[in-house]
Amino acid sequence: MSHDDPADSRSQRERMLAGDLYQGSDPVLAAESDQARRLCARFNACDPADPHRREILAELLGSLGEGTEIRAPFYCDYGYQLRIGARCFANFGLVALDVAAITIGDDVQIGPNVQLLTPTHPLEPGPRRDKWEAALPITIGDNVWLGGGAIILPGVTVGANSVIGAGAVVTRDVPPAVVAVGNPARVVRRLAG
């Protein structure tokens, strides 16, 4: 079925959640995105000692593991597609565009200004002009370290115990227990398991 097939009766939200082409300007999706931006703004405006910060994140995110800390500012598209495990730490400036699911394992360390980008757009000018988009999920395994400024692109899985170097642009899956650096990121070292 093409993106403009009249026989496709699914809502734009159902299309988005299925990973199919959808239009983000849909009123339901726009309202959900607006709500996420409001919650992000509340979280980002909180004093770091405010005990309500975690409550805001719990309302915003799909799940938030015990002992996980996210430093403001933090930004996401919808929130409910983002699941973060236990004992994780995300430094200042995390951007998690969770149009598709983003799953972050336990004990993950995220440096400042990391971007987790699930959205994709058609290469053809017509559908792009008509505002069609899609997304692919991102998975970050347990005990991963994402260095400052790293960018993880749509559809990527980073295997457990791996390290992504600062400023790396990860365009394809990274196996477990390796160090990957550069643009595009490439494996430069294996780590002891």
Catalytic center residues: 121
Beta strand 82-84 with 163-164 is unpaired
Residue of 136, 68, 132 lying closest to 98 (CA atoms): 136
CB neighbours of residue 74 within 10 Å: 20
Helix (H, G, I), strand (E, B) or coil at 24: coil
**Which residue, chain included where needed, has tokens 């009766």?**
9
Helix (H, G, I), strand (E, B) or coil at 12: helix
Distance CA 119, CA 37 (A): 17
Q: How far apart are the two ends of the chain, measured CA to CA in Å? A: 44
Q: Which two tokens mark 55?
A: 């409550």
Q: By CB neighbour count within 10 A (0-12 exposed, 13-18 middle, 19+ buried), where does 171 fall?
A: middle
Distance CA 60, CA 62 (A): 7
